[in-house]
Each structure stands twice: as C-alpha cells, then as structure tokens.
Structure 1
C-alpha cells in the first residue's frame, strides 16, 4: 500500500476505492477507527465461517465495539469489547461461545494485536 500526503491527512488508492485517513474526522477515517473496524469485522467474518462449518449458519449478525483508550500513553487502544448479536435458527449458546473463541484464534487481526490489546467478547442470540 502506498499513502500520499494531502493537506489534512493521507490517501491511498485501492481497488475498491480511495481510503482517506486523517487524525481529524472531517477529512478521513481516524487511524484508531480503522484498527477497531479491522478487528471487529475480521472477527465477525471468521465467526460466520466457523458457524457455517458447525452447521449453524446465521441469517444476520451485528457487532458493536466498545473501546478503552489510555490518554496518558499516547491515547493508545488498550481494550476492545466486541458484542455480537446473532440471528439464526438452531443456534446453541454453548456452541456459539465455542465458535467465538475459535474465531478469535483464527482472526489475523486479533492475533496481530493479542499481546498489546485486550479483546473481550459477549453475544446474544435472537430468533
């Protein structure tokens, strides 16, 4: 990836489109938003695949991410709590819990930050 400086941030040109990144939300996505989005979406995508393999496909999934940052240490991300809201038939609570654990072990983004950001999770099942 190549990033080009612009007046209020940077831009990279990708096959899907341009990605604008800036410390100021008026001019692009903030770096921490991209990191949290990567972790949340990667985890969710892997979770969908794991549920499919367990023969418990979900018909819908939402994920929220609550972030704890440390202002005293460069405002770094210290904790991310992912809450999955999963819809589908035949979803079994214990198996979904195991699927989430498996998804974290197999998500490249979670594994990339595993020793520096604490990732926790919870879920709810809806019919």
Structure 2
C-alpha cells in the first residue's frame, strides 16, 4: 500500500489520492471533519462487505442505504462513543433473519469495525422494503 502524505494548508490539512484531493478541517466550510471521515470509513467498509456477501448469495436487492447516527462525548475531547448504522435494504424475496446473519458476518470481516470495536460501540439495525416486479 502506498504511503499517504498530509500537508498543512491554511485552515486544515490536504491529501491527494488517485481519486482526487481531500481537504480535512475542523471547519465544515473548509473540508471534511475528522469524525466524518472515521464514520464514513466504518459505514463504507461495513456496507462494502455486506454487499459482497449479498452478491455471493445472489440476494435480489435493488438498493441499500445506510444511515449513521453518531454519539460523541463532549467531556472527553468530543470522542466518538457510539455509531448506530441503520441499513435499509430494498429488494425482492428478502429474508430479514438471513440479512441479519449476513450483517453479523460483514461486521466480523470489516477491517474498520474490527479496528475500533474495543473503543467505539457499533450498533447495527436493519429494515427490509419488499418491492414488486
């Protein structure tokens, strides 16, 4: 994996990747806030692994949306204490019990969730929306 380089710029930090420039700042107007990047990494990794599992099982889904609700502790450097990931799966012939098992498998195989499991509580819930042909 190539090294990442970060540069101090004006009111924030900048890095570049193959996908473009990323600005990081404590000011929403100047870039992504660090906690947003952490939550995005956790949600993105979890959803990617979940999708791979569903694709391998040939689950008929049309769309998956994840909403992240974050609890932070202002008294301890505003640290992230809990992330609630709520999955909404739209598809055909969805089996909620099987989807929950798949979600548990994705949790165990997501490197980002595994990296923070001892310091951030990750809670996952699921909602199925059955669509017709």
Q: Same fold (TM over 0.5)?
A: yes
Cα distance, 1:51 vs. partner?
Answer: 1.3
Gaps of 5+ in 1: none
Cα distance, 1:48 vs. partner?
Answer: 0.7
Gaps of 5+ in 2: none
- Separation (CA, whole Å) in 2 of partners of 1:126 and 1:30: 32
- Separation (CA, whole Å) in 2 of partners of 1:117 and 1:48: 23
Select 2:88's aligned residue among 85, 88, 91.
Answer: 85
Give the match for residue 115 of structure 2: 112
Select 2:25's aligned residue among 10, 22, 30.
Answer: 22
Structure 1's consecutive aligned runs of 4 or more residues displaced over 2 angstroms after TM superposition are none
TM-score by length of 2: 0.93
TM-score by length of 1: 0.97
Select 2:71's aligned residue among 68, 71, 96.
Answer: 68
- What is the SS of the residue equivalent to 1:109? helix
Contact in 2 for aligned 1:48/1:58 (Cα 8 Å): no
- Separation (CA, whole Å) in 2 of partners of 1:57 and 1:20: 37
Contact in 2 for aligned 1:86/1:126 (Cα 8 Å): yes
Residue deviations 1:64-99, cap 9 Å, x none?
000000011110000000000001112101100100
- What is the SS of the residue equivalent to 1:20? strand
Cα distance, 1:53 vs. partner?
Answer: 1.9
- Separation (CA, whole Å) in 2 of partners of 1:12 and 1:6: 10
- Separation (CA, whole Å) in 1 of partners of 2:57 and 2:118: 29
Aligned-residue RMSD, C-alpha: 0.8
Cα distance, 1:54 vs. partner?
Answer: 2.3
Contact in 2 for aligned 1:62/1:85 (Cα 8 Å): yes
1:48-67 matched pairs, under 5 angstroms: 48-67=51-70
